[in-house]
Amino acid sequence: MKRVAFQLKVRADKLEEYKEIHKNVWPEMLDAMRKAGWHNYSLFIREDGSLFGYFEAEESFTASLTALGKEEINNKWQAFMAPFFEGIGGAHADKSLIELEELFHLD
């Protein structure tokens, strides 16, 4: 497994709604992520909307994103969530993710 991390920024006026939506992520979306090789996926958020994501990929960040991008439910989820993010110009978040370099890991 490859550990993967990324950052995004949630708009301040959408922060509480974003948190509520993630209490009940669509079951079809959860299934699609698992099918695409996303494991141990977590999101962490600060009060200012800074979002940190982490997951373990079966192969690679790119392979996981590519596989998820082939799932129709992902396209619907990304369109639904696009207005929540700053700095991506309304694009789908999964097209705007930049993998962070793993600098240190304590096992």
Q: Give me the active site residues, please.
A: 22
Nearest to 84 by CA among 76, 93, 75, 94: 93
Cα 63 to Cα 37: distance, rounded to the nearest angstrom: 8
Strand partners, 57: 2, 38
